[in-house]
Amino acid sequence: MGNRYWSPVVHRLVPYVPGEQPKLAELVKLNTNENPYGPSPRVIAAIQAELSDALRLYPDPNAERLKQAIAGYHGLAPAQVFVGNGSDEVLAHVFQAFFQQPAPLLFPDITYSFYPVYCGLYGIEYTTLPLADDFTLRVADYLRPNGGIVFANPNAPTGRLLALADIAWLLERNRDSVVVVDEAYVDFGGDSAIALVARYPNLLVTQTLSKSRSLAGLRVGLAIGDPGLIEALERIKNSFNSYPLDRLAIAGAVAAYADREHFEATRQAVIASRERLAADLAGLGFEVLPSAANFVFARHARADAAALAAALRARHVIVRHFRLPRIEQFLRITIGTPAQNAALLGALVAALAEL
């Protein structure tokens, strides 16, 4: 009974499996790339001030205040901004709006694992293209017209960055395709492709407040692009749910953009911690890929990654391990506070001694 879906469509789906959200309070949780620092105190104050209205009243279906805040922050017009319930939802609308094309959608074979899930949901054909040996994206492979292109930059779970000049090169040669750059992690070391939006009406950049603004639970994501692309997304959204963002999310997100100091200080702390952790991991025998994100992707010269992840878990430190070809010997480790990183390193030393 339990496995009967009453529908061949649902039966075919291979849903995304989110990273674990364990209940144990004393865990060192380095598995889902959350920000170890809290959000801006101004976000908390704004949400508290909004609370009563937020429960009684419907939210603004266009989240105008938030679009203005984001547009102002990036020096754009609100008509170039789309917002949604986390960038996962924004990407779902993007896939539905733009990727049902005559030619298959292109994306790298190692990237955010939600992309094939959306393809399954909407019946989108796709072709994956291998990353280079050093796990960078080979832009020259992405030259097939009439489809769509999506990639994460910095990429997940590798953390590797594609330079803005390469993105411009790719856009120049794919003017007939919608090109989506998923910048969930861009604030930790990349140059945003938002700088190219005015030049390329086929470019859409998605971002999230879950990582660099420490608001994963508030669920706010956005897309930035030509008003033509944004209008298409609004049509999809309004055919699905007119109120994707509640009033607390709108109030909190607006306040997050207003507090540049908190954003800058926590972002820099994560970047500095990442560089320290990468060096410490190298000292323990890991090969660590250069990362522009709030995590590192690393493999040990001797120890098996699955065994290492299990040994860390036994010591109450959780990291992410993917049982996927080519990356099965890697661990993806979210950057924690200095204390969390020290706990991770201590657990690793003990685990390595035992494996």
- Which residue from 156, 245, 248, 343 is in contact with ligand PMP, where contact means CB under 6 A? 156
Residue 288: strand pairing partners: 298
Stretch that binds ligand PMP, among 40-48, 86-94, 95-103, 347-355 (CB under 6 A): 86-94
Stretch that binds ligand PMP, among 81-89, 130-138, 242-250, 345-353 (CB under 6 A): 81-89
CA distance 76 to 308: 46
- What is the CA 287 to chain-centroid distance, rounded? 23
User: Residue 167 interacts with ligand PMP (CB under 6 A)?
Assistant: no
User: Residue 152 interacts with ligand PMP (CB under 6 A)?
Assistant: yes
271 vs 303, beta carbon nearer ligand PMP: 271
Q: Which of residues 221-280 bind ligand PMP (CB under 6 A)?
A: 221
CB of 90 to ligand PMP, least distance (A): 7
User: Residue 210 interacts with ligand PMP (CB under 6 A)?
Assistant: yes
Which tokens go with 331? 């661990």
Q: Considering CB under 6 A, how many residues would be counted as binding ligand PMP? A: 12
Listed in sequence order, the DSSP H helices in the chain are 8-12, 41-56, 64-74, 86-98, 114-122, 164-172, 227-238, 247-258, 260-283, 305-314, 338-354
Side chain identity at 223, as an amino acid letter?
Answer: A
User: Residue 291 interacts with ligand PMP (CB under 6 A)?
Assistant: no
15 vs 228, beta carbon nearer ligand PMP: 15
CB of 210 to ligand PMP, least distance (A): 3
Site string for ligand PMP, 88-107 (x = CB under 6 A): x-------------------
CB of 106 to ligand PMP, least distance (A): 16
Burial class for 298, CB neighbours closer than 10 Å (0-12, 13-18, 19+)? buried
Which tokens go with 283? 């000292």
CB of 236 to ligand PMP, least distance (A): 17
CB of 219 to ligand PMP, least distance (A): 7
Burial class for 329, CB neighbours closer than 10 Å (0-12, 13-18, 19+)? middle
Cβ atoms of residues 159 and 295 within 8 Å: yes
User: Residue 34 interacts with ligand PMP (CB under 6 A)?
Assistant: no
CA distance 196 to 217: 30
CB of 188 to ligand PMP, least distance (A): 12
Q: Which of residues 107-136 bind ligand PMP (CB under 6 A)?
A: 112
User: Residue 189 interacts with ligand PMP (CB under 6 A)?
Assistant: no
Question: Among 164, 187, 152, 342, which Cα is nearest to 268's?
Answer: 187
166 vs 280, beta carbon nearer ligand PMP: 166
CA distance 122 to 139: 26
CA distance 254 to 246: 13
CA distance 278 to 288: 6
CA angle 222, 227, 232 (to 5 degrees): 75
User: Residue 162 interacts with ligand PMP (CB under 6 A)?
Assistant: no
- Nearest-Å Rg of the Cα atoms of the chain is 20
208 vs 266, beta carbon nearer ligand PMP: 208
152 vs 171, beta carbon nearer ligand PMP: 152
Which tokens go with 320? 């992410």
CB of 187 to ligand PMP, least distance (A): 13
- Give the footprint of ligand PMP on this chain (CB under 6 A): 86-88, 112, 152, 156, 182, 184, 208, 210, 216, 221
